[in-house]
Amino acid sequence: MTTTYEQGKQHEPIALTDALGSFDALWSPRIVTRVNDYDVRVAKVAGEHVWHVHEDTDEFFQVLDGELTIALREGGVERSVVLATGSVYVVPRGIWHKPSAADGASILLFEPTGTSTVGDRHDPVPSHVDATTGHML
């Protein structure tokens, strides 16, 4: 049996496959646990997210399954990084980015508690993207 983060304490190990199997919503991260002041979130993703920026925090991505592309805008130049299963990448604070997964992916994120999934500034948020600070499992 797995349990989630409860009242500041994690009581049992958490199987990420079980956590991911507990919901179907895309681009709607679930908070698995917390480490100090950071949420450990998992999400299922497919299609495109939204261009956004986190002004004051980096954003850590790990691909658990599938492939994730992160488009980046830096200094007027646009480029993309492609993350295969098992890959990690950190988007530095202040960098506009847009994650996407053509064939779908499962990802793990580390972000300060309360960080919005659409950043501090963003393009219009499409209906398939959940603008949230994460949902508890």
Q: What is the pLDDT of residues 61-90, one digit of tens each?
A: 999 999 999 999 999 999 999 999 999 999
Q: Which residue, 28, 32, 42, is CA-closest to 6? A: 32
Phi, psi (deg, nearest 5) at residue 2: -115, 150
Alpha helices, H only, the chain: 16-21
Residue type, 28: S
Measured from the Cβ of residue 69, the count of other Cβ atoms closer than 10 Å reads 15
Residue 2: pLDDT above 80? Answer: no
| Global pTM value | 0.90
**What's the pLDDT score for residue 12?**
86
Domains of the chain and CATH, by start: 16-136 (2.60.120.10)
Q: For the chain, what percentages of helix, strand and coil (3-state, to nearest 5) are there?
A: 5, 50, 45
Q: What is the pLDDT of residues 4-58, one digit of tens each?
A: 444 445 578 999 999 999 999 999 999 999 999 999 999 999 999 999 999 999 9
**CA 40 and chain centroid, separation:** 9
